[in-house]
Amino acid sequence: MVGITRIATYVPRRRLDRTVLGQTWGTRVAPGRRSVAGLDEDPLTMAVDAVLACLDDADPAGFDALYFVSTSSPYLEKQVASVVATATDLPRTTAVADFGGSVRAGVAALRVALDGVRAGSLRNVLVAAADARLAEPESELEPVLGDGAAAVAVGRDRVIAEFVSAASVAEEFTYFWRTDEQRTVQVTEPRFGSSYGYARDVAEAVTAALRKAEVPPASVAGLALGAPDERTAAEAAKRAGCDPGRQLVPSLGSEVGVLGAPDPLALLARSLETAAPGDFLVVAGYGEGADALVFRATDALPASRPRPLADRLAHALPVTSYGRFLKARGLVPAETAGEPVTSIIEWKELAQDVRLHGSRCEACGLVQYPQTRVCIGCQARDRLVGHKLAKRGTVFTYTIDNLAPVAEHPLPMAVIDLEGGGRLYLQVTDAADGEVKVGTPVELTFRRLHEAGGNRHYFWKARPVL
């Protein structure tokens, strides 16, 4: 059996109440909130977060491919999948590829992963989709979009949703676009785009996939449609012969916004929170045509359900002003001094800085970081062996700094004792006032640390476990 073995969603902790946008521009906005990636987040970091959540306690060595999907990748040239695979400690032999170009690519990459496993070419594949798309200020799209990520593991063992069928449509249709010189997403006349582009193509792909699966539309338990808005999703569902009220997986629109490439995958995860074994689930992605995949929930699902999205949405940090929203999205200049991480340092320290491997002393057993020749505990020479550090720990001591040359103050800094040994000293991100104290439990997250030498530099930070 080939199918989904694990699935997880990542949503940034920052949330913007849409009334802030309404008040800023004097416009009417739909109620609810949208997620906002922080200044230290981008699709690369959110993909790492989603993959770590998806892996949970699984051994990364068991995966042989990782596909990164984004329409808003931090790099136009330089592969991100390999960074995500390295930061999540996948093997060096992992097959890696980046997908993009359209928000459709999330479901398209999932199809490629499923086909690869079904063909016997790959055993276990991770698909990590993440987007942080920018809209024009004051545009109708600005309150609609959200930032986030989803990761899906595909394999043959302990499948929670069996892959049944797939269908695709290819049609040139200009609905959303962004040229190589534009930072913000452009959109055609929305009513035309939603009816003649989205609803037509998605319904066609869903209908074809269900026909292949020999599943009548009325039997679908959950229809996970990554759509520009709920009305458009409902129109596509109806055209595919489904009942939107009963069969559509509730959109993320009011709590998170439209996520882009990860959106249908996040909805699929949401449907797997409650699906019963035997339920048919359909996921579809749109962009210049559509892809639709049909899954059947298995008996293994109840024991391996994804963590509820509601859990991940709790403890939001409010973005209280439009200025702070612009700053979080990197749209106002922020001064961050820093030294470039040369390719040489990056290459030499890859295991230490990206895989987060420390050392364990074979003489005295002390786990330590960073990697050195002589043990800090017993001074034994060259008895230190590579040791993968845990990504959870406790704050041993801390400060809340207002002086550091970073873009956002105050900056909590913490000395962290990791589970299983090793001590780190890291910036703490996504923390509300008063959350960082001696004894605070934290987990590690891979973030954008600073820019220097014309490049972005990523490293680990800590965040409070909530």
Residues that bind another protein (CB under 8 A): 337-341, 345, 353, 366-370, 376-377, 396-406, 410-411, 413, 415, 417, 421-425, 427, 438, 449-450, 452, 457, 459
Burial label, 322 (beta-carbon count in 10 A; 0-12, 13-18, 19+) = middle
**Minimum CB separation from another protein for residue 416, in Å?**
9
Q: Using N-to-C axis directions, what is the helix angle for 200-213 and 230-239, rounded to 10°? A: 50
Nearer to another protein by Cβ, of 320 and 399: the residue is 399
Nearer to another protein by Cβ, of 209 and 375: the residue is 375
**Minimum CB separation from another protein for residue 373, in Å?**
14
> Which stretches within 315-465 are classed as H helix?
322-328, 343-348
**Minimum CB separation from another protein for residue 10, in Å?**
23
Nearer to another protein by Cβ, of 190 and 410: the residue is 410
d(CA 33, CA 52): 25
**Minimum CB separation from another protein for residue 434, in Å?**
11
Nearer to another protein by Cβ, of 71 and 427: the residue is 427
**Minimum CB separation from another protein for residue 82, in Å?**
18
Nearer to another protein by Cβ, of 202 and 442: the residue is 442
**Minimum CB separation from another protein for residue 40, in Å?**
11
**Rounded-to-5 percentages of helix, strand, coil across the chain:** 25, 30, 40
| Chain CA centroid to CA 404, Å | 29
**Minimum CB separation from another protein for residue 153, in Å?**
29
**Residues facing 9 on adjacent strands:** 150
Q: What angle do CA 312, 315, 316 make, to 5 degrees?
A: 90
Nearer to another protein by Cβ, of 303 and 337: the residue is 337
Q: By C-alpha distance, which of 157, 169, 260, 278 is closest to 222? A: 278
d(CA 236, CA 192): 13
Nearer to another protein by Cβ, of 196 and 459: the residue is 459
Nearer to another protein by Cβ, of 1 and 378: the residue is 378
> Which stretches within 56-168 are classed as H helix?
81-87, 105-118
> Which stretches within 119-159 are classed as H helix?
none
Nearer to another protein by Cβ, of 183 and 437: the residue is 437
**Minimum CB separation from another protein for residue 212, in Å?**
49
Q: By C-alpha distance, which of 84, 60, 80, 59 is closest to 71? A: 80
Task: Give the up-direction half-sphere exposure of residue 443: CA atoms within 13 A in the CB hemisphere.
Answer: 7
Token look-up 């059996």 returns 1
Residue 52 in 3-state DSSP? helix
**Minimum CB separation from another protein for residue 45, in Å?**
14
d(CA 190, CA 176): 9
